[in-house]
Structure 1
Amino acid sequence: MRIDLHTHSTASDGTDTPAELVRNAAAAGLDVVALTDHDTVRGHAEAAAALPEGLTLVTGAELSCRTSGGTGLHLLAYLFDPDEPELERERELVRDDRVPRARAMIAKLRDLGVPVTWEQVARIAGDGSVGRPHIATAMVELGVVGSVSDAFTPDWLADGGRAYAEKHELDPFAAVRLVRAAGGVTVLAHPLAARRGGAHIGEDEIAELAGAGLDGVEVDHMDHDATARARLRALAGDLGLLTTGSSDYHGSRKSCRLGEYTTDPEIYGEIVRRATGAFPVPGTGG
């Protein structure tokens, strides 16, 4: 059983539509795929309607958070009630702040001599929630950087970088509480992703989140080297956290492939068992 619990579609910053994503997931030999677009559940209905027979969809979202000390992190939320009002309101606040934030970063880039425009970024984002990967793609189009990943450095768009701008983000402890109240399960995404250009969360902070109800931590991920994975697996064992593996697939925007890293079926079963806000959606050949 092959399970990928972290993917993105055009509802946020991926390049596959939700329908294309589930079809591609089935073609990649996956049995279960989670659609976890940034701060939105807008792609779930399309993905469910197109779900091939034999593939199960886990509904979710990747929530943008920031600690009181200023460290940005992402929280994967699975199988929560999408209509729970308090969590829905917080997701809307994050999404609504994405446009002014993107405009601010574009202005900073232009001050740095990069001729990116809002119109270019809006075209790239399409109907998705605009984010840094869309701006990075514009920089690739202009020949400023060679790849989207190359834009996520202190010189450009990394946290605290020259063209970085803040947006509304959830306190991670509040996010864990909100997801739990909505019947969902939380997994800390790529916590030691050294290639992302910003500070990453410390082990003490992960322990505090575990004490507040965090369910798991994403261990097997393209941005974690062998040392980081071993460190996280040991920490998760000490804290009683579930460990997951996922591709963080973004279509052609990143080099990772669907199913490049996967989650153990027993871990997936435990996530489903803990969730009360929603159920996985079985494919019926849509």
Structure 2
Amino acid sequence: MTDATTPQPADAAPAASAPVLTVDGLTIGIGSRNNVTSIVKGISIALTPGRIQGLAGESGSGKTVTSLAMLGLLPSNAIVGGSIRLAHPDRGETELVGMSHRQLNEIRGRRIAMIFQDPSSSLHPQLTVGVQLTDHVTRHLKFSTRQAREHAIALLDRVRVPNPAEALGRYPHQFSGGQRQRIAIAIALACDPVVLLADEPTTALDVTVQAGILHLLRDLADERQLAVLLVTHDLGVMSSIADDIAVMRHGEIVESNDRQSIFTAPQHPYTRELLASLPGAAGFQEESE
């Protein structure tokens, strides 16, 4: 969905840097080894600091499963092949495929964080916002209670939740949908991750609220040099903030390019089909040209 209120990326892209997360030949199947349904079929993608990588495709294309694989959150009967490598400035690359749950728990939230489509399902309804925000930093960063509270207030203020100190004592149901998503983003950022996975983060929100969340994601990627994977079925959302876009269909990436090239010179018929379904897509293309 496109709208005049949605943010537009800067004209000049930042200088390229080394990927912080590299997916190479990823395959995902569900079932037993003798009866496997192939979901993802050998895709490759790289996430770079300060850039938003879009992953677009219709429901069932494999895009959400791909993002879940990056955090090791697939069901127990998932069979994963290929490579997912997380870069570390001091220790080189770490292979995530095949890593134990205990090892992954040290990475989840600390190095890679995720926000989901529905904040109501990702926020615990019986815990205050303050408890949910401070739990991560006391466990991963070893903050004191006072440090964790100050950090939580600063995070809520950054994502523009009104009256952040007061908000710590409230429960998720006491906030609007857009504010709950901002809180979910604050929780994701609590331990200063290098990668942020955003799975359909604006689908459940109205257009005006969507625009605010998209502005926030763009700003955070720029300010914190976050490598962001934005998963969505809506190419209109991609047009507003993504630097690069990969189009996924039936478990494969059929086209991958920078945002401008995808919107003005799409190469694959499926990409052209997705663009043709967007309201005002022709006008966008003429204006870009």
Asked whether the two chains share a fold, i.e. TM above 0.5, the reply is no
**So what's the TM-score if we normalise by structure 2?**
0.31
Specify which structure has the higher proportion of strand. Answer: 2
